[in-house]
């Protein structure tokens, strides 16, 4: 007599719930997802991501938790590689769309695109001119304040530290370098 015929399946513990199959709707497609394996959900995410453009939007569309995707990216190098590739497609689409709009409609957008593509050539150039006399006056005033308020001795042993003179000499040296530039 076969012993396996008399065995019964163990009851499900009360903490585990039986889940009914769920259906996720994706842009007029209906996918059954009762027990989709993780790899299938990863593939679905990668396939849908370029359509939605963000992790959150894609997760909402396919019924997946955002944290799951972030975890997959950390733990699965192959998934992360596919995600980076899909993200690159999203970026290229956005660039293409922005380029078309910039050419047809927006000088401001065109300027931003040029700065992004060639920042060395199109960066903002701001040149500050500093009057050496103003710098020297400011440093002199700063030295006066330091000499007046800086502690020049150790409060514990009362030994002379000479910090005030050291700071003053450094500032005077800086003033001289700035004035010569």
Compute the C-alpha angle 154/160/163, nearest 5°: 85
* 63/137 same-domain check: no
Please indicate, yes or no, if residue 50 is contained in any of the structural domains. Answer: yes
Burial class (CB in 10 A: 0-12, 13-18, 19+), 7: exposed
pLDDT at site 167: 73
pLDDT tens profile 62-119:
999 999 999 999 999 999 999 999 999 999 999 999 999 999 998 888 888 888 888 8
Are residue 73 and residue 161 in the same domain, yes or no?
no
Number of domains in the chain: 2
On whether both 143 and 64 belong to a single domain, the answer is no
pLDDT for 175 equals: 67
Asked, for residue 29, whether it belongs to a domain, the answer is yes
How far are the Cα atoms of 113, 138, 141 from residue 177, in angstroms, in the given order? 40, 14, 17
Residues 29 and 110 in one domain: yes
| 160 shares a domain with 92 | no
Whether pLDDT at 127 is above 90 = no
CATH number for the domain including 76? Answer: 1.10.10
pLDDT digits (tens, 9 = 90+) for 135-152: 778 877 887 777 776 666
pLDDT of 125 strictly over 70: yes
Look up the domain containing 62 and give its range: 23-122
Q: For residue 163, what are the contacts with CB-CB under 8 A and spacing of at least 6?
A: 150, 151, 152
pLDDT by residue (tens digit) across 1-59?
444 444 443 343 444 444 444 455 555 455 555 445 677 899 999 999 999 999 999 99
Rounded to whole angstroms, the Cα distance separating 25 from 63 reads 9
Query: Can you give the C-alpha Rg of the chain in angstroms?
Result: 34
Whether 79 and 161 share a structural domain: no
Please classify residue 140 by burial: count the beta carbons closer than 10 Å to its beta carbon, then call 0-12 exposed, 13-18 middle and 19+ buried: middle
């Amino acid at each position: 007599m076969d012993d396996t015929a008399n065995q019964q399946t163990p009851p499900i513990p009360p903490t585990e719930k039986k889940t009914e199959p769920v259906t996720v709707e994706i842009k007029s497609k209906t996918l059954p997802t009762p027990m989709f394996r993780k790899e299938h959900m990863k593939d679905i995410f990668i396939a849908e991501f370029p359509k939605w453009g963000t992790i959150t939007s894609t997760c909402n569309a396919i019924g997946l938790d955002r944290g799951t995707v972030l975890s997959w990216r950390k733990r699965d190098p192959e998934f992360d590689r596919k995600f980076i590739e899909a993200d690159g497609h999203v970026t290229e689409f956005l660039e293409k769309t922005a380029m078309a709009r910039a050419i047809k409609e927006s000088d401001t957008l065109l300027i931003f695109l040029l700065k992004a593509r060639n920042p060395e050539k199109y960066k903002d150039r701001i040149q500050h001119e500093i009057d050496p006399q103003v710098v020297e006056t400011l440093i002199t005033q700063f030295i006066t304040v330091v000499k007046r308020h800086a502690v020049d001795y150790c409060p514990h042993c009362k030994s002379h530290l000479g910090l005030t003179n050291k700071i003053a000499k450094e500032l005077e040296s800086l003033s001289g370098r700035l004035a010569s530039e």
